């Protein structure tokens, strides 16, 4: 059983072709169990994978629990791919990444003319898009309280109303949710509805943090490095015993994602993991770029290479956004237009840079001055 978990179809040595599409096509042709993509042989992880494999055979809702970067999305996709509806859509919605208005339209869709700027003919939401397949709601704990009854209704009645529409539409999908919050505590504290909690938490799978399965580091690192090397089209470097020792003596608050970032930095800069993890640049490791506020209670970790390489670009982006908002006095439609991006993209970027509050202030100043 453990042996099968270690088969990683897309990590096979490079053949004649190296583009990602070919590799995906190749791996589907072979039809391995898609939960094989979860790399690791730690007993607790293997147990989680086995549970996922069992649950994939039924249509019961599954709640995935685990810290940021532990692989919740990898599990969700694996469950979908192992299930009977694997050729149907797998639709992901991150309930934490969007403003409430965007999240509502994203999930439920809307009718034509339901608000200014609404598309002609209306728009199908992600819930409808998942019809016949799987809906994966990531960071469910961040869904606004007053939106929760609407989701509950969909789950209980199997029908959905697009915003601004009176006629329900039938929907049927498998629900997988994920959270890195303690949802039960959210219920106790009144931030999450109990009825929805019971609906989504029919079965749950806990994915252990990387620090509790450090013995998986060699096999995970090998798999991640091979995949990254393919992606960047460079030879995969070897990890020495000393490198592995260094990787295993770190606590990985950002879990597998952080490990991946460190390995990517190693691949691209040639630095050894020790230099990347135990960096003497205290401002880099473990802090958030700029003054972005933390979302939730989880520390948001960024791999060194990622931060270093993208920081200048991000800084320029942030500057451009600030000056556009300044120029438009907080008018988001205008700011987005002057930046040449969609308003929804602008909101996402504002959230990413922690600038939401600033827009409010710009609006207030604008209002006072008129
Ligand atoms: N067991 C694993 N085997 C291989 N890759 C993994 C594994 N776990 C995680 N990864 C990789 O780590 C990264 C983070 O995983 P994923 O996005 O699934 O985490 P997550 O739990 O959804 O994080 P978040 O809470 O931040 O949404 C991805 O690049 C994923 O491919
Ligand atoms: Mg995720």
Can you give the pLDDT at residue 308?
Answer: 43
Across 184-193, 301-310, 331-340, the highest mean pLDDT is recorded for 184-193
Can you give the pLDDT at residue 75?
Answer: 97
pLDDT band at 108 (very low <50, low <70, confident <90, very high): very high
Calculate mean pLDDT across residues 27-42: 74
| pLDDT(25) > 50 | no
Ligand minimally distant from the alpha carbon of residue 35: 1
User: Is the Cβ–Cβ distance between 193 and 149 less than 8 Å?
Assistant: yes
Atom of ligand 1 nearest to the CA of 180: 25
Q: Which residues line ligand 1 (CB under 6 A)?
A: 38-40, 66, 68-74, 138, 180, 220, 223, 256-257, 260
Segment (H or E) for 65: strand 62-65
Can you give the pLDDT at residue 367?
Answer: 61
Centre of ligand 2 from the C-alpha of residue 292, in Å: 20
Q: Which residues contact 163 (CB under 8 A, 6 or more apart)?
A: 104, 105, 108, 109, 110, 111, 114, 115
Across 36-50, 273-287, 301-315, 356-370, the highest mean pLDDT is recorded for 36-50
Can you give the pLDDT at residue 278?
Answer: 64
Segment (H or E) for 175: strand 174-179
Q: Which residues contact 368 (CB under 8 A, 6 or more apart)?
A: none
pLDDT band at 302 (very low <50, low <70, confident <90, very high): very low
Atom of ligand 1 nearest to the CA of 223: 4
Q: Report which of residues 212 and 117 the model is more confident about.
A: 212
d(CA 71, CA 11) in angstroms, rounded, equals 17
Atom of ligand 1 nearest to the CA of 66: 21
Q: Of 61-65, 83-87, 180-184, which gets the smallest average pLDDT? A: 83-87
Can you give the pLDDT at residue 28?
Answer: 42
Tokens of 305: 């290479």
Can you give the pLDDT at residue 353?
Answer: 72
Centre of ligand 2 from the C-alpha of residue 281, in Å: 28
Tokens of 152: 């509950």
* CA nearest ligand 1 atom 9, residue: 71
Can you give the pLDDT at residue 181?
Answer: 92
d(CA 181, CA 67) in angstroms, rounded, equals 8
Tell me the pLDDT of the chain averaged across its residues. Answer: 81
């Amino acid at each position: 059983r453990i042996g099968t978990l270690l088969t990683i179809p897309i990590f096979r040595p490079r053949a004649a072709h190296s583009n990602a599409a070919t590799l995906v096509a190749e791996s589907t042709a072979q039809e391995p169990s898609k939960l094989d993509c979860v790399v690791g042989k730690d007993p607790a992880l293997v147990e989680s994978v086995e549970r996922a494999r069992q649950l994939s055979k039924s249509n019961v809702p599954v709640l995935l629990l685990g810290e940021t970067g532990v692989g919740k999305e990898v599990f969700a996709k694996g469950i979908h791919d192992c299930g009977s509806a694997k050729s149907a859509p797998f639709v992901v919605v991150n309930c934490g990444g969007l403003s409430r208005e965007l999240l509502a339209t994203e999930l439920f869709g809307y009718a034509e003319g339901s608000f200014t700027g609404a598309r002609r003919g209306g728009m199908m939401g992600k819930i409808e898009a998942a019809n016949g397949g799987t809906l994966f709601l990531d960071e469910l704990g961040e869904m606004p309280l007053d939106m929760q009854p609407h989701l509950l209704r969909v789950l209980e009645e199997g029908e959905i109303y697009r915003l601004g529409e009176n006629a329900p539409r039938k929907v049927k999908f498998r629900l997988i949710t994920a959270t890195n919050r303690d949802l039960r505590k959210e219920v106790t504290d009144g931030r999450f509805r109990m009825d929805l909690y019971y609906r989504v938490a029919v079965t749950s799978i806990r994915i252990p943090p990387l620090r509790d399965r450090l013995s998986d580091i060699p096999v995970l690192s090998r798999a991640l490095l091979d995949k990254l090397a393919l992606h960047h089209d460079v030879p995969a470097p070897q990890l020495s015993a000393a490198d592995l020792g260094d990787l295993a003596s770190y606590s990985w608050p950002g879990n597998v994602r952080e490990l991946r970032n460190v390995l990517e930095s190693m691949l691209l800069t040639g630095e050894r993991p020790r230099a990347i993890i135990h960096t003497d640049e205290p401002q880099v490791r473990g802090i958030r770029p700029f003054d972005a506020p933390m979302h939730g209670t989880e520390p948001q970790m960024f791999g060194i290479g990622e931060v270093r390489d993208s920081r200048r670009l991000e800084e320029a982006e942030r500057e451009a956004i600030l000056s556009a908002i300044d120029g438009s006095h907080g008018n988001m439609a205008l700011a987005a237009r002057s930046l040449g991006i969609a308003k929804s993209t602008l909101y996402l970027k504002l959230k990413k840079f922690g600038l939401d509050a600033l827009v409010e202030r710009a609006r207030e100043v604008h209002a006072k001055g008129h």
